[in-house]
Amino acid sequence: MRGAQTMRAIACATAVMAGAAGCTGTTIDGAAEPTRRNIDEIIVFNVCRDPGLSDQILLDAGLDPTTKMVITDPPEGVSTFRVCNWGPVDGRYGPTNYRVSVFSTSHTLQELRKKETVILLRETTVNGRRGQVSKERNDPESCYVSFDAEQGMFQVRVGWLSEYESKDGNLCEIAAQHAARLEPHLPR
C-alpha cells in the first residue's frame, strides 16, 4: 500500500508540474489519474478593473493609467483571457513609442510552449516565478514575458506603436522590466 501511495504522490506532483489542477482519488495499477484543468471554469484575475492594477501600481511600473485600452474584459464570469494595455509614462526603460499589454489567462506556460506560432527565446524567472520569453511568428514587432500563476499564467507583451517611429531598444528587456515591476501585484 505504501508503494501505491508513493506512486500516487509522484504522479500528482508530475501532473501539477505539467499544469494539471490536481489528482483524482482513483488509481489505475497503483498510479493516480491526473485531472484536467477546465479553463471554462476558471475566473482569471481582472487586470483591467478593481481590484486589478491600480493607478499607483501602473505609475510605479512606468505606465500611464490615462492611456488604458481594454482589449478583452467580459463584464463578469469566466473568461480565458482578460487583457488591457497602457503606454509608458516616461522614458525610464528606453523609448516611449510602445504599448504594454498585460494578459491574465487560464492558459499555462506548458500550453504556450506547444503553440506552433510561438518562438521560445529563453526560459526565465520573474521575481522567482517560472517563466519564458517568447515572440509570435506573426508579430515580430513585440516580445512576451510570461510567468506562472495558479490560474494559468500572466503575460506582459511589449510592442512598438508604429513602424515609422524609432525602434531603439530591446523589446524583450523592456517587457522583462515591466513584468518584474507588475509581478508582485498579480496573484500567485
* Helix ranges, 52-93 (H): 55-60
pTM: 0.79
SS3 percent helix, strand, coil of the chain, rounded to 5, is 25, 40, 35
Q: Are residues 86 and 174 in the same domain?
A: yes
15 and 108 fall within a common domain: no
Domain span at residue 151?
A: 55-185
Distance CA 178, CA 145 (A): 9
Provide the pLDDT confidence category of residue 164 given band limits of 50, 70 and 90. low
Say whether both 87 and 22 belong to one domain.
no
Q: What is the pLDDT of residue 153?
A: 98
Strands 81-88 vs 98-105: parallel, antiparallel or unpaired? antiparallel
Tell me how many domains the chain contains. 2
Please give the Cα distance from 107 to 110 (Å, whole number). Answer: 8
Of 15-19, 61-65, 100-104, 177-181, which gets the smallest average pLDDT? 15-19
67-96, pLDDT tens digit by residue? 999 999 987 778 899 999 999 999 999 888
Do 109 and 152 fall into the same domain?
yes
In terms of pLDDT, which residue wins out, 32 or 10?
32
* In a shared domain, residues 23 and 113: no
Pairwise CA distance, residues 138 & 117, whole Å = 7
Q: Which of 58, 106, 112 is nearest to 85 (CA)?
A: 58
Q: Which helix (H) or strand (E) holds 12?
A: helix 2-17
Q: At 50, is the pLDDT very low, low, confident or very high (cuts 50, 70, 90)? A: confident
Residues 80 and 166 in one domain: yes
Q: State yes or no: pLDDT of 8 exceeds 50.
A: no
Closest CA to 63 of 42, 84, 44: 84
The answer to whether residue 98 sits within a structural domain is: yes
